[in-house]
Structure 1
């Protein structure tokens, strides 16, 4: 029973976050939405940070599942573009959840921040796998796979952050074109 209540609380916190952003997630508001008392929520989550950590953990798990279910490309260059497009889709479809996972403090249920080389970043791990395969097949020049992946993801993340902040002044379709052009420029630099 407690697990179901904790899940319901986390789902209500996620719904508020997706609709309004993390700043709108308060223990009292989530408790009301989940149908529990304000004090009862603390039996499942000791503080707001732990609750946001639970939302982030679920978000990472959902994103990892999205990566696992998507069709794979045989060509490493096409696979890398598919991975980056999936990340872009997520960022545009779920901007507030994307921000929680990528732009805000590293929320984890246990309160411990993790390095990107951990299994904590489904997006980065998918980029690493595509680049590593491309390097092994001679499509991409030999390099440090983690640094190459981080460079690519950092470029896309920076563009996404600027777009979410309204700093680029382009529509979502125009933004997709901009991202594709930026990735072409970057990938040309790592091609064999």
Structure 2
């Protein structure tokens, strides 16, 4: 797929994803830039995988161009990421209280969150074939396994 075609196809798909979420982003909902007709498979945009790759490429380029992508470890220190900072704080408390063995709180927090994030990405990418409640249970079990590995 050419870059021009990829951008033209990915832009409306990104808009749908941002506004309505993953469930709304179906192949029938992909719209042309004019929004006048549904996106359809052609020789230049052969399938859903190609469209998803274009959306991912666009998102990565956009983040890189804006310079907002955080990089571990510096981009996660000193409150640079409010949501990640909460996890680091919980890890530090667990270490202080003896629930977790002493270690680098930033790395432990990254390990725990990376497991959950990876599972979510696999699930949203269709690589995990479970119902939502079963998937949530899988995430809980995986997180427990990680924590059991760092527990004092």
Same fold by TM (over 0.5)?
A: yes
Output the CA distance in 2 between the equivalents of 1:14 and 1:134.
Answer: 40
C-alpha spacing 1:14/1:120, structure 2 compared with 1 (3 Å): farther
1:123 Cα offset (Å): 2.9
Structure-2 separation of matches of 1:138 and 1:175: 30
C-alpha change, 1:190 and 1:15, in structure 2 (3 Å) is: same
- 1:127 matched to 2:87? The reply is yes
SS at match of 1:167: coil
Q: Whole-Å Cα distance in 1 between the matches of residues 95 and 63 of structure 2?
A: 33
Q: 1:112 to 1:182 in 2, by over 3 A?
A: closer
Give the helix-richer structure, 1 or 2.
1
User: What aligned pairs does 1:88-167 form with structure 2 within 5 A after superposition?
Assistant: 104-105=59-60, 107=63, 110-115=66-71, 116-118=75-77, 119-167=79-127
Give the whole-Å Cα distance in 1 for the aligned partners of 2:111 and 2:130.
23
| Deviation for aligned residue 1:121 | 3.0
Gaps (5+ residues) in structure 2?
1-13, 35-55
- The count of aligned residue pairs is 105
Q: Are positions 1:191 and 2:151 aligned together?
A: yes
Structure with greater contact order relative to length (CA < 8 Å, sep ≥ 6): 1
Residue 146 (structure 1) shift: 0.7
CA–CA distance in structure 1, aligned partners of residues 103 and 87 of structure 2: 14
In the alignment, the residues of structure 1 paired with residue 17 and residue 127 of structure 2 have an alpha-carbon distance, to the nearest angstrom, of 25
Local SS of the residue matching 1:107: helix
Is residue 2:132 matched to residue 1:176?
no
RMSD: 3.3
Structure 2 Cα separation of the partners of residues 122 and 175 of structure 1: 26
Identify unmatched segments of 5+ residues in structure 1. Answer: 1-12, 30-99
In the TM superposition, residue 110 of structure 1 has moved relative to its aligned partner by 4.7
Q: Which has the larger radius of gyration?
A: 2
SS of residue in 2 equivalent to 1:173: helix
Shift of 1:111: 3.0
